[in-house]
Structure 1
Amino acid sequence: MDFSPKKKTSNLLLLIASFAIVSLILWNTNSFFKKFKEEERHKMEIWATAQSEFLSLPVDADPGNLHIKIFQNNTSTPMILVNKDSTIKVNNMPGIQKTDTAFIHGKINKFKAENKPISIEYKGENLATLYYGNSEVLTKLKYYPIALLLIIFLFGTVIYFLFKTNKTSEQNKLWAGMAKETAHQIGTPLSSLLGWNELLRAENINPEITKEIEKDISRLETITERFSKIGSLPILNEYDIVEETKSAFDYLKLRSSKLIHFSFNSQVDHVPVLLNRALYNWTIENLVKNGIDAMRGKGSIAIEIVPNGNWVKVLISDTGSGIPKKNFQTIFNPGVTSKKRGWGLGLSLVKRIVEEYHKGKIKVLTSTKDGTIMQITFKVKN
């Protein structure tokens, strides 16, 4: 992803423009709401004037077509007319009974909060008081800015996650490219080491020395294979998980401090599992090394293999300082690390290898101040 100053400036200008447009829409909506409210007030004042003239007419007088038309045209604004004799007339509020005085008085209080009541007078005498609420259109318009802000918020959230996903994808491509290049660069000195080891063997050097060198060369080849597979779908083959786990464990045991006690135990002799050998060995190495780091180079590391029906569990335990329970999930996120040195990629890669490539599961089984147990679960091949 391009993080150049030019790109950042464009993003900032786009953000400012978006904010300006949203502000303009909200301001315009608010202005329209006020204008519409004023027009509705004016309409109600006309209605009140017509009502004033109507109430002042003699009983047998003809109200006239204008008054009737004004009364008939107002069908959208809810109104409650309280006459001077305390009789109540309800307009444009279907379903409300005049006998439900408690509900009507509640509506009157609500209308008073929404709009100032209009006093209907004739020659200085108060004939009635008009309480009216906002029409359905005005009510919907009132909540339009909230709906607009919600839509903008949701839209912004989607954009943010798309940006974040795109950024993560670009970073993954970068790491994959660096890993493949590393594997390529290791290949040349590795070939030379193989040649030098053959020369040492020809010089009748102690066979144990050349044998150990071969193990280290084999280890470098495994590391090269691991890095070359990053970013591509690995091939899984059937292996005995007991043998593969013990092989990786023994290699680390021989090359670790004598202050660390290693123990391996399996409740079964053979368990067939579909594995990518290089990546699985990498998983065991990461978990064991994390345990060693947690113990500050002194303590006990144990691996136990436990069958569980169609699944097999690999338990890696250490006697380190433990992991806070609140971090049981976050430790598998990229960049999360408790070490002063390190990029926090180890457990993230382990989780991806186990769950995405091998369709298994990994979790912190238990963790206290006396140690941690990590659990990997794989499906047994039938």
Structure 2
Amino acid sequence: MRQYINWKTYLILVALAIVGTSLLYTNKLAAELEEEEKKGVHHLVEGLKTMATATDPNATQFAATVVDANETIPLILTDEHDEVLYTSNIDSSRLKRNKDYLNEQIVDYKAQNRVIVMDYGFGKQKIYYGESYLLTQLRYYPYIQLGIIFLFLFVVLVALTSAHRSLQNQVWVGMSKETAHQLGTPLSSIEAWLELLKDNEANTEAVAEMQKDLDRLKLVADRFGKVGSTPKLVEENLIERLRFMTEYMQKRAPSKVTIAMDSPENNIPVNMSGPLFDWVVENLIRNALDAMDGKGRIDIKVTNRHDHVNIDVCDTGKGMPKHQVAKIFNPGYTTKKRGWGLGLSLARRIIQKYHHGSIFVKTSEPGKGTTFRITLKHEHKK
């Protein structure tokens, strides 16, 4: 997963480098083109001056040729009071739509200091000039390019993320089905041996507890064998299931560990897949037991809200630093010497994908313990 994230980061950095280089180069070209256009405007001014003052017909004709050669730079010639005398390369369609377009352009050019004052001895005139269409497009081009590249990156990342999730789904389904398949044979054997033990009345209590374990394993194996298909959610009393898991795990916990449940209500109906939800709670409790070294306390606190219910699993174990909390749900990440690091990842998948809820680390502090929170939606009863 880390390599995948880094690969996406490198892709974005490369794209930014390309856009940054293009932006710098395009701005350089725009600056050079702007300088050339300014020189062109000054040549036009000289041409107009020559046309107004020269007595040589050839000089006048040459100056007129220079002036007429301008087909790109917008020009507005005014008197000293900004009354328009002549225009060149002005968008006629905009003039038709907006009668004040020329005045607006004059104000805009004046603000940009794009004006040249001419004095031929018989009154001052002003030439206001703008940017050619090519220069304007050149200035906007890098940003358009930036938008296109980021749009392309977005599409690529969405496609890669979708493919990654699809592959992850296939891995989860394959592992779950294989686990269920591998559990099938030993479970059948255990069930057969358990039937033999039932004949011995001295083992009645132990056999009853073993039967509970076997039944739970069979339920979990059956549900894992159907991973990939959407589980059927049935309305159940959340409190009853949590009480069952509390009692079930208390009997299997070390003698110096207390597992307690606190709920202000006795009946909170929630749509759920019972075996999968039980497995999630069991996984959280077992992780808490592993973090407490044989002694401590685990509290399961239920808080009922208007449209959801919060289940907090709190322990007095070792706790986790922030960098571990950020990775705790990543597939393959584990703080134990043994284990695959898939339990919490699968728990999150069960809660989020199948139950449309959420599971996260609410609080954790080294030496003080950890609190996991599960949030499930439910219909509010009036």
TM-score, structure 2 normalization: 0.70
SS, match of residue 371 in structure 2 = strand
Residue 194 of structure 1 and its aligned partner are, at CA, apart by 1.1
Identity of aligned residues (%): 37
Give the equivalent residue in structure 2 for 1:77: 73
Amino acid at match of 1:285: E
Q: Is the 8 A contact 2:364 2:371 kept in 1?
A: yes
Residue 172 of structure 2: which of 175, 183, 192 is its match? Answer: 175
Q: Is the 8 A contact 2:310 2:373 kept in 1?
A: yes
Q: Is the 8 A contact 2:220 2:276 kept in 1?
A: no
Task: Mark the CA change 1:368 to 1:282 in structure 2 (over 3 Å): closer, same or farther.
Answer: same
Amino acid at match of 2:172: W
Q: Do structure 1's residue 224 and structure 2's residue 218 form an aligned pair? A: no
Residue 166 of structure 1 and its aligned partner are, at CA, apart by 0.3
Larger displacement relative to structure 2 (278-287 or 152-161)? 152-161
The two structures, once aligned, show a CA RMSD in angstroms of: 4.9
d(CA) in 1 for partners of 2:265, 2:82: 88
Q: Do structure 1's residue 166 and structure 2's residue 163 form an aligned pair? A: yes
Give the equivalent residue in structure 2 for 1:124: none
Task: Mark the CA change 1:107 to 1:340 in structure 2 (over 3 Å): closer, same or farther.
Answer: farther
d(CA) in 2 for partners of 1:89, 1:295: 88
Q: Do structure 1's residue 289 and structure 2's residue 297 form an aligned pair? A: no
Residue 307 of structure 1 and its aligned partner are, at CA, apart by 3.5
1:37-76 to 2 correspondences below 5 Å: 44=41, 47-48=44-45, 50-57=47-54, 67=63, 71=67, 74=70, 76=72
Task: Mark the CA change 1:138 to 1:169 in structure 2 (over 3 Å): closer, same or farther.
Answer: same
1:200-211 to 2 correspondences below 5 Å: 200-202=197-199, 206-211=203-208
SS, match of residue 355 in structure 1 = helix
Q: Do structure 1's residue 107 and structure 2's residue 112 form an aligned pair? A: yes
Q: Is the 8 A contact 2:50 2:60 kept in 1?
A: no
Amino acid at match of 2:48: Q
SS, match of residue 158 in structure 1 = helix
Q: Is the 8 A contact 2:359 2:374 kept in 1?
A: yes
Task: Mark the CA change 1:343 to 1:309 in structure 2 (over 3 Å): closer, same or farther.
Answer: same
Give the equivalent residue in structure 2 for 1:360: 357
Residue 159 of structure 1 and its aligned partner are, at CA, apart by 0.4
d(CA) in 1 for partners of 2:76, 2:298: 81
Give the equivalent residue in structure 1 for 2:375: 377
Residue 287 of structure 1 and its aligned partner are, at CA, apart by 1.7
Unaligned ranges ≥5, structure 1: 1-17, 121-127
SS, match of residue 112 in structure 2 = helix
1:233-382 to 2 correspondences below 5 Å: 233-309=230-306, 311-323=308-320, 331-335=328-332, 337-339=334-336, 341-369=338-366, 370-378=368-376, 379=378
Task: Mark the CA change 1:88 to 1:65 in structure 2 (over 3 Å): closer, same or farther.
Answer: farther
Residue 250 of structure 1 and its aligned partner are, at CA, apart by 1.9
> How many residue pairs are counted as aligned between the two chains?
350
Larger displacement relative to structure 2 (199-208 or 152-161)? 199-208
d(CA) in 2 for partners of 1:132, 1:156: 39
Q: Is the 8 A contact 2:109 2:128 kept in 1?
A: no
d(CA) in 2 for partners of 1:22, 1:371: 48
TM-score, structure 1 normalization: 0.70
d(CA) in 1 for partners of 2:261, 2:53: 104
SS, match of residue 362 in structure 1 = strand
Q: Is the 8 A contact 1:328 1:363 kept in 2?
A: no
Q: Is the 8 A contact 2:26 2:142 kept in 1?
A: yes
